[in-house]
């Protein structure tokens, strides 16, 4: 039977995804019809982005699964009309590798103090040698696929690594903490903090004034995870007092970041426009096709969202 697959991720993305999806679905040996418009009652699978015009899933009576193109699913997990399995995008070839490169680059930037040499208008000659990575404490909050991949790279560089997750984890080269009691231990004395948690009710504002106070004085905060993880007023206050030496932020509560937002003007903040990790159509298409192939063969879906956990 021919599978009807609806691309419901926005017409602006169809041009990027059409060819890679056709190739991946064909390579997976699937008999399919892929389109941006289909009668709802005839759709078997939906390739989806939460900003799609499809917000009511009720008419899709034959729908078997929704395959999200984004790693973040917080905008769709609570939709009461979505009752079929939902998967999130975990793409080691594209999304994960992109995050590893961005995080590693900015961790090294802060570890080596590169900003002082890149922008040095006073031509200051200050041969201040940074410590080796073994003497630099880096903490990662969030040890899912992205956090684990970043930890593995930073461990290879021999950083003194700590990490925290809601449930226990074991990652070679990293001291892993879990649960509410482990969060304080993971934050204590961290010189560089990387946020890679999902956006859930439990993680919102997790980096508040109390958490920031546990960091080493002058610590760097790097957030490529989710904007609501940070209590913005607390971070700005910590930057002003020097408790936080610099914040490199890629994600925000409101995007694009408003032009009058204080983060833009703060001298100790680097704003990047949500570029830390982006879904790459060729590799993402292969993940989508493999999940449809697995589901059709009766195998479990990869990266299925736990609705109770929110990711």
Out of 88, 166, 204, 226, the active site residue is 226
CATH architecture of 3-91+279-297: 3-Layer(aba) Sandwich (3.40)
pLDDT of 307 higher than 90: no
Q: What is the mean pLDDT of the chain?
A: 96
Task: Write out the residue limits of the CATH 3.40.50.720 domain(s) in the chain.
Answer: 3-91+279-297, 92-271
94-120 pLDDT, tens per residue?
899 999 999 999 999 999 999 999 999
**pLDDT value of position 92:** 85
Q: How far apart are CA 150 and CA 225, in angstroms?
A: 12
183 band by pLDDT with thresholds 50, 70 and 90? very high
Burial label for 237, CB within 10 Å (0-12, 13-18, 19+), is middle
Structure tokens at 256: 């694009």
State yes or no: is 214 an active-site residue.
no
Q: How far is CA 298 from each of CA 64, 292, 295, rounded to the nearest angstrom?
A: 12, 10, 5
Q: Alpha-carbon torsion 192, 196, 202, 204, what sign?
A: positive
CA distance 305 to 88: 6
Q: Are 48 and 8 in contact (CB under 8 A)?
A: yes
Reported for 150-158, long-range contacts at CB under 8 A and 24+ positions apart, including other chains, are 150/99, 150/100, 150/103, 150/104, 150/194, 150/196, 153/100, 153/103, 153/104, 154/103, 154/104, 154/107, 157/104, 157/108, 157/133, 158/132, 158/133, 158/134
Per DSSP, the three-state class of 245 is strand
Question: What per-residue confidence (pLDDT) applies to 164?
Answer: 98
Span 287-295, average pLDDT? 98
Check: CATH 3.40.50.720 for 92-271?
A: yes
* Tokens standing for residue 167: 């449930």
302, two tokens: 């990869």
Average pLDDT over residues 34-61: 97
Q: What is the pLDDT of residues 130-178, one digit of tens each?
A: 999 999 999 999 999 999 999 999 999 999 999 999 999 999 999 999 9
Average pLDDT over residues 21-30: 98
Which of 274, 280, 293, 294 is labelled catalytic?
A: 274
> Residue 209 has what pLDDT?
98
Alpha helices (runs of H) in 35-190, residue ranges in sequence order? 97-112, 115-118, 145-156, 179-187
Mean local confidence (pLDDT), 58-83: 96
274 carries an active-site annotation: yes
pTM of model > 0.75: yes
Token duo for residue 104? 């590693």
pLDDT-based confidence at 93, cuts 50/70/90?
A: confident
293 band by pLDDT with thresholds 50, 70 and 90: very high
């Amino acid at each position: 039977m021919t599978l009807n697959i609806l691309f419901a991720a926005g017409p602006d993305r169809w041009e990027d995804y059409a060819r890679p999806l056709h190739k991946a679905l064909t390579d997976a040996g699937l008999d399919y019809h892929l389109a941006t418009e289909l009668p709802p009652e005839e759709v078997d699978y939906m390739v989806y982005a939460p900003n799609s015009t499809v917000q009511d899933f009720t008419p899709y009576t034959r729908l078997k699964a929704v395959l999200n193109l984004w790693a973040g699913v917080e905008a769709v997990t609570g939709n009461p009309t979505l009752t079929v399995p939902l998967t999130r995008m975990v793409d080691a070839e594209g999304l994960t590798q992109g995050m590893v490169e961005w995080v590693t680059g900015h961790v090294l930037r802060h570890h080596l103090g590169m900003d002082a040499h890149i922008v040095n208008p006073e031509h200051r000659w200050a041969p201040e040698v940074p410590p080796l990575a073994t003497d630099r404490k880096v903490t990662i909050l969030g040890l899912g696929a992205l956090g684990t991949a970043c930890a593995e790279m930073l461990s290879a560089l021999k950083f003194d690594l700590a990490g925290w997750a809601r449930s226990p984890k074991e990652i070679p080269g990293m001291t892993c903490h879990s649960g509410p009691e482990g969060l304080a231990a993971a934050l204590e004395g961290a010189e560089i903090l990387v946020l890679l948690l999902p956006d859930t009710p439990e993680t919102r504002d997790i980096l508040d004034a109390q958490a920031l106070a546990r960091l080493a004085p002058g610590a760097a905060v790097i957030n490529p995870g989710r904007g609501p993880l940070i209590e913005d007023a607390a971070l700005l206050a910590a930057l002003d007092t020097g408790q936080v030496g610099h914040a490199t932020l890629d994600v925000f509560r409101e995007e694009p970041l408003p032009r009058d937002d204080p983060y833009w003007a703060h001298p100790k903040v680097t704003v990047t426009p949500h570029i830390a990790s982006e879904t790459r159509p060729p590799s993402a298409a292969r993940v989508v096709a493999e999940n449809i192939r697995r589901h059709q063969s009766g195998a479990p879906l990869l990266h299925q969202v736990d609705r109770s956990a929110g990711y």
